[in-house]
């Protein structure tokens, strides 16, 4: 069973995520465990202090080493320790796949101006959710944990077939456009082939439509990227 621990100075941010999501359901089904660890429980001084001014000057505060080293030491060893950071490798489906095969994953959520660089020695992976800067790592950790947990066998109702046809899975391109009832809405009709019942034709249409959609929305994806990706996202 996959064990996930999330170390955060704002563990309350995960309340909804851990009570009203597919992740919550997966925990209930016994597919994984997800727990938060309050970094402030490991603060060194009074008032739960976990930050200090950067050496050499500069704006803002940095997270200090002591609480992070103590928090990590309080947990059993993990095979993957993910530092959430905008400087990390962009998180991809292949990362979710490899995290879902781990036994124990720890997410480290930063705050303020980020981590004292020595804290990086604790991590095995440095992952970003995109080229933008958020105030903390909680939403990044939640996004990565969600993408990971839904890949655990039995986590989503539609099952393994739904996962293998998805965007970024299999060939690493986008999913074909999909339609549901009604067959005509506001003068817009569903492509006829999807109503034909001819599975071979539908499959061929979906392949072509997926390629067309990928060229339109994500021309940078050519399906070869997955083969070149390595596990870990280490520096
Ligand atoms: C304000 S950010 C620190 C940014 C840092 N000063 C920099 O320029 O790279 C605070 C924390 O939010 C999290 N964070 C912000 N943006 C992120 C992103 N795009 N992906 C993952 N984590 C992010 C990280 O944990 C980071 O330590």
**Residues 28 and 94 both lie in one domain:** yes
Kindly state if the Cβ of 11 falls inside 6 Å of ligand 1: no
**Residues 116 and 186 both lie in one domain:** no
Helix (H) or strand (E) holding 95: helix 93-100
Domains: count for the chain:
2
**Residues 137 and 171 both lie in one domain:** no
Q: In this predicted structure, what is the pLDDT of residue 166?
A: 87
**Residues 47 and 98 both lie in one domain:** yes
Domain of residue 134, CATH code: 3.40.1280.10
How far apart are the CA of 85 and the centre of ligand 1, in A?
5
Which residue's alpha carbon is nearest to atom 13 within ligand 1? 137
Domain of residue 195, CATH code: 1.10.1270.20
**Residues 38 and 103 both lie in one domain:** yes
d(C-alpha 77, C-alpha 93), whole Å: 25
∠ CA 106-109-113, nearest 5°, is: 145
Kindly state if the Cβ of 183 falls inside 6 Å of ligand 1: no
Tell me which residue range forms the domain holding 208.
164-228
**Residues 212 and 113 both lie in one domain:** no
Q: In this predicted structure, what is the pLDDT of residue 4?
A: 98
How far apart are the CA of 88 and the centre of ligand 1, in A?
9
Mean pLDDT per 10-residue segment, the chain (235 residues):
98 96 96 98 89 96 98 98 98 97 98 98 98 98 98 88 82 94 98 98 97 96 59 46
Regarding pTM above 0.75, the answer is yes
Kindly state if the Cβ of 196 falls inside 6 Å of ligand 1: no
Which residue's alpha carbon is nearest to atom 17 within ligand 1? 86
**Nearest CA-CA partner of 175 in 138, 221, 233:** 221
**Residues 133 and 194 both lie in one domain:** no
d(C-alpha 75, C-alpha 68), whole Å: 11
């Amino acid at each position: 069973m996959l064990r996930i621990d999330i170390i955060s100075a704002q563990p309350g941010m995960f309340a909804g995520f851990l009570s009203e999501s597919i992740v919550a359901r997966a925990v209930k089904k016994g597919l994984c465990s997800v727990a938060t660890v309050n970094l402030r429980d490991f603060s060194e001084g009074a008032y739960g202090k976990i930050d200090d001014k950067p050496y050499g000057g500069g704006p803002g505060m940095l997270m200090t080493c002591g609480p992070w080293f103590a928090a990590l030491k309080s947990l059993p060893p993990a095979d993957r320790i993910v530092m959430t950071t905008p400087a990390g490798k962009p998180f991809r489906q292949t990362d979710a796949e490899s995290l879902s095969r781990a036994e124990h994953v720890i997410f480290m959520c930063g705050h303020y101006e980020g981590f004292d660089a020595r804290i990086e020695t604790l991590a095995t992976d440095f992952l970003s959710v995109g080229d933008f800067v958020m105030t903390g790592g909680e939403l990044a950790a939640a996004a990565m944990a969600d993408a990971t947990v839904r890949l655990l066998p039995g986590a989503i109702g539609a099952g393994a077939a739904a996962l293998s046809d998805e965007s970024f899975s299999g060939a690493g391109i986008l999913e074909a456009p999909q339609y549901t009832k009604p067959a005509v809405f506001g003068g817009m009709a569903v492509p006829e082939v999807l109503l034909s019942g001819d599975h071979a034709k539908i499959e061929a249409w979906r392949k072509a439509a997926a390629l067309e959609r990928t060229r339109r929305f994500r021309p940078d994806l050519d399906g070869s990227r997955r083969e070149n990706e390595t596990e870990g996202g280490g520096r």
